[in-house]
């Protein structure tokens, strides 16, 4: 390798931890020395704006647009993303070239031993429409309020009593060495966000050399599962206002897929399952369109079907 390989990433502790995982995987796969990869933290709009929900100020693109600009300008060779935070409709000039093996897809509850243990009227901090809707469906007596900030900030807000409880992705806690924090919630109770637990690596669509380098660290099963979940979300026209959950798993050589859409308050919800061939992105898209076509108005108004 003639030049240093540059990885673009957000500057949060979790984003940096994920970038280091990618750097280590590339070094191992290609036999590169430790100085061969440089991590370039880039401050995004989502990092700067912490006082409002994402849906009010531009959605998930707030996590990606500065990374995209650096990548397209050639300042970086690739970007590392938490795939659940990446909008499902990406520029054609960029491509998700690889994903790392998927981590724990579950949510963890911090502040109480279980959802059932929360008192009626308890305040749960979450900026996720999916988590808020799922919680209110399970426990209509709970209150949810928006809470932003990195993992440690949200844990601290819970510890300080600003909220009674909060929910965080198990994968992020594990990657930060915080496996002891919170209790995992079974996916049968709370289906995760599409692409939760997956780290994706994106490069320029016309950069065949970088794509080839990244292909060496691609975990094909994770890549296929995440692509199916994102196809489902894209077909729904899901936005930051849309409570949507999905999980794809490869079983017996095919994908077993579960998708869920909910109203804001969780009073209405639809959950459906299907199986299809690995790599078939039309099947999850068809499921999404079929579900939203049958959904009540309380759900349909939160989606922009494609």
Which residues are bridge partners to 173 per DSSP?
none
Q: What is the DSSP string of 122-156?
A: -EEE---HHHHHHHHHH-TT-EEE---S-HHHHHH
Is-catalytic flag, 85?
yes
Catalytic member of 85, 104, 207, 268: 85
Q: List Cβ neighbours of 139 (8 Å cut-off, separation of 6 or more).
A: 115, 116, 118, 120
Structure tokens at 100: 């790392």
| CATH number, domain 107-184, options 3.40.190.10, 1.10.3720.10, 3.10.20.90, 3.40.50.300 | 3.40.190.10
Contact 287, 226 (CB under 8 A): no
How many CB atoms are located within 10 Å of the residue 258 CB?
20
Burial bucket for residue 180 (CB in 10 Å: 0-12, 13-18, 19+) = exposed
Rounded Cα gap, residues 301 and 306, in angstroms: 13
> What CATH number belongs to 233-300?
3.30.160.40
Which pairing describes strands 94-99 and 78-82: parallel, antiparallel, or unpaired?
A: unpaired
Contact 203, 97 (CB under 8 A): yes
Q: Which CATH superfamily is domain 5-101+198-218 in?
A: Periplasmic binding protein-like II (3.40.190.10)
**pLDDT, tens digit only, all 306 positions of the chain:** 458 999 999 999 999 999 999 999 999 999 999 899 999 999 865 555 455 555 554 445 577 889 999 999 999 999 999 999 898 889 999 999 999 999 999 999 999 999 999 999 999 999 899 999 999 999 999 999 998 788 999 999 999 999 999 999 999 999 999 999 899 999 999 999 999 999 999 999 999 999 999 999 999 999 999 999 999 999 998 777 899 999 999 999 999 999 999 999 999 999 999 999 999 999 999 999 999 999 999 999 998 766
Structure tokens at 282: 């039309």
pLDDT at residue 246, rounded to an integer: 98
Q: What is the location of CATH 3.30.160.40 in the chain?
A: 233-300
- CB-based burial, 59-77: b 16+ in 10 Å, e otherwise: bbbbbbbbbbebbeeeebb
Q: What is the location of CATH 3.40.190.10 in the chain?
A: 5-101+198-218, 107-184
User: Which of 140, 199, 133 has its CA nearest to residue 167?
Assistant: 133
């Amino acid at each position: 390798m003639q030049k240093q390989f540059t990885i673009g990433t957000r500057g949060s502790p979790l984003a940096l931890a994920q970038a280091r995982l990618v750097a280590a995987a590339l070094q191992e796969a290609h036999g590169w020395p430790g100085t061969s990869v440089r991590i370039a933290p880039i401050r995004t709009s989502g990092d700067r704006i912490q006082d409002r929900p994402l849906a009010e100020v531009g959605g998930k693109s707030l996590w990606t647009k500065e990374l995209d600009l650096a990548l397209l300008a050639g300042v970086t060779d690739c970007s590392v993303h938490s795939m659940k935070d990446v909008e499902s409709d990406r520029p054609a000039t960029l491509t998700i070239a690889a994903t790392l093996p998927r981590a724990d897809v579950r949510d963890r509850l911090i502040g109480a031993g279980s959802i059932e243990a929360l008192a009626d009227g308890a305040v749960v901090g979450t900026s996720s429409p999916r988590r808020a809707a799922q919680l209110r469906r399970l426990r209509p007596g709970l209150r949810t309020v928006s809470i932003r900030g990195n993992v440690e900030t949200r844990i601290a807000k819970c510890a300080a009593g600003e909220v009674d409880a909060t929910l965080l992705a198990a994968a992020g806690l594990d990657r930060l060495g915080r496996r002891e924090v919170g209790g995992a919630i079974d996916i049968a109770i709370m289906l995760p966000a599409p692409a939760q637990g997956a780290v994706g690596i994106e490069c320029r669509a016309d950069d065949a050399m970088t794509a080839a380098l990244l292909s060496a660290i691609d975990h094909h099963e994770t890549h296929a599962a995440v692509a199916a979940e994102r196809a489902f979300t894209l077909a729904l026209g899901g936005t930051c206002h849309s409570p949507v959950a999905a999980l794809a798993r490869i079983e017996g050589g095919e994908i077993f897929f579960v998708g869920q859409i909910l109203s804001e308050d969780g009073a209405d919800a639809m959950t459906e399952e299907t199986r299809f061939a690995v790599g078939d992105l039309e099947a999850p898209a068809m499921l999404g369109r079929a579900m939203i076509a049958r959904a009540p108005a309380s759900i349909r108004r939160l989606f922009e079907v494609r």
